[in-house]
Every structure is written in structure tokens, then in C-alpha cells.
Chains A and B, each alone.
Chain A
Amino acid sequence: MNKILIALLSGLIFGLGLSWSQMVNPDKVISFLDIAGNWDPSLAFVMAGALAIATPAFIWIKKRQKPVLESAFHISHKTHIDKPLILGAIIFGIGWGMTGYCPGPAVAGIGMGNLEALVMVVSIYAGFFAERFFAGK
């Protein structure tokens, strides 16, 4: 039960952060990616703000044997740079640039009553299922 409440709280704070930083606004994201236009570096500042908190806190958290409410950390230990990683990231970036939405703002945008965000979320799920189908999972 506590784990569910923590997840709810974490999601709520994430949603407030995406809203305050205006990352729920696809125009704001596209004006970051539009380096040849009227460039808006705000997105880099969002990442800087998040990393300023998460980087030192993660180092401290990972010194613990386990998280507070679970018996182990659920973290990827992969280090190999492979083709799916690079190809997938490139495909993701193309979709991100076409729309101005990455997954977080698409979900949060539903809470703002934005129709585009709903279309985006449905399409993302279509992509998930397509990948699973082609990979034979």
C-alpha cells in the first residue's frame, strides 16, 4: 500500500514539475529543438535542475543496501552500447521532433485537457505493441 502511495506522490510531483517548467507545452519543446530558429534553451535548464537534485541524491541512495520499501533496487546494470540502443534513441528523437512530446508530457497533457496529448498517448501505445509484435515478444 505504501509503495502505491509513494508512486502516486512521485507522479504528482513529476506532473507539477513538467507543468511549471512548461514542458507539457509542445511548442516549448520544439523551440528548444529548433536551433536554427528562435532558440529557447529552457529544456536544458529543466534537465540541469533535475540533475542537480538527482545526481548527488542517487549517489547517496545507492550506498544503501536496499530501498526503504523493497528488498532490492530495480536498476539496469547493462553497460554495452548496442544497435537497438542507438537506433531506438534515433527513432525516438525523430518522433519527439515531429510532435514536441516525449512520453511524460504526453501523459501529463491529458490532465491539462489537451486533445493532442491523448492522440499522442494512444500512438505511443500503438508503437509499444508494434515493437513487441516485431520482436516476437
Chain B
Amino acid sequence: MENFTPFSALAGGVLIGLSAVILLFFNGRIAGISGIMNGIFKSPRNEMLWRAAFLMGLIAGALLFKLIAPDFITFRSGYPLWLIAVGGFLVGIGTRLSSGCTSGHGICGIASFSKRSIYATLCFMASGFATVYLLKHVFHIV
């Protein structure tokens, strides 16, 4: 557990929670990223704009952090891109079928005591654990 970073994890989590609170309090919207991503291609224009603004803010926030602390995060290299492409496709299909992802179900839904979100979170955690186990310790793909 030498890579465990409890302080920055909690601090970042508090910011994510704050972001969701601001969006619900002012705009009455759930900060679910998959729903916001999906919504920019099907809504009327006034519904599209806030979603585009949110996603631009998300990109800008990461960029800003990178400018403040350029060496805080280093990215892996050489990870198989086909795995990213296939996995990304599954993330897209899965989050549409279940109407949410880590943020929508895992944070906003659980914070609302939604039974659906609690079930969804248990399911994607379980299949995430199983998938990494198979890829790393059974098939040794990554």
C-alpha cells in the first residue's frame, strides 16, 4: 500500500463533492459526467450550452492543475491502445444502459440514497475488480 495517498484523495474528493453541490444548488442538475457528455449531442441548444461549458471547465481545471503542479502526475506509456479503444466503447454502452457512471451513480446517486445508484455502484465495482484481476493475474495482458 505504499502508493496510498489519503490526504490528496480526500482533498480532491471534497472538491468533486463541492462541484456537484454547486451544480445542484444553482442549476438543479446532477454532476454525472457520462450524462453530460451524452447530452451535448441531443439536446436543444440552450440545454447543450451548459453541458459544453461544464466539459470545458473540466478540461480547463485539469489544465490549470497541470500548470500549478507540472510534476504531480506522470502518465504511463506503452499501454495497449486497442485495450483503451475497446474499453472506452464498453464504458460508452454501459453508462448509457445504466444511466450513469462513477460520478452520477457513485457520488450524486449515493449522496441521494438512491437504491438504483447503490446497486449500479456495487455492480461496476465488482466487474471492475474482476476485470483487472483477469487482465493482470490470469491473462497477464497488462
Contact = CB atoms under 8 A, between A and B. Distances in A.
Interface string B62-93: 11111000001101100101011111111111
Interface SS of chain B: helix
Given A11-B57, A18-B16, A80-B116, 9 more contacts: A9-B22, A10-B23, A15-B60, A24-B62, A40-B3, A67-B27, A85-B119, A116-B75, A127-B93
A34 B1 CA distance: 11
Size bin of chain A's contact surface: 35 or more
A17 B114 CA distance: 24
Interface of A: 2-28, 30-31, 33-43, 45-55, 57-58, 61-62, 66-70, 72-76, 78-81, 84-99, 101-104, 106-114, 116, 119-132
B116 A81 contact: yes
B42 to A, nearest CB: 8
Contacts of A39: 1
Interface in B1-46: 1-6, 8-31, 33-34, 37-38, 41
Contacts of B20: 10, 14, 50, 53-54
B112 to A, nearest CB: 6
Given A90-B94, A103-B101, A17 B24 contact: no
A111 B23 contact: no
A93 B88 contact: no
A103 B76 contact: no
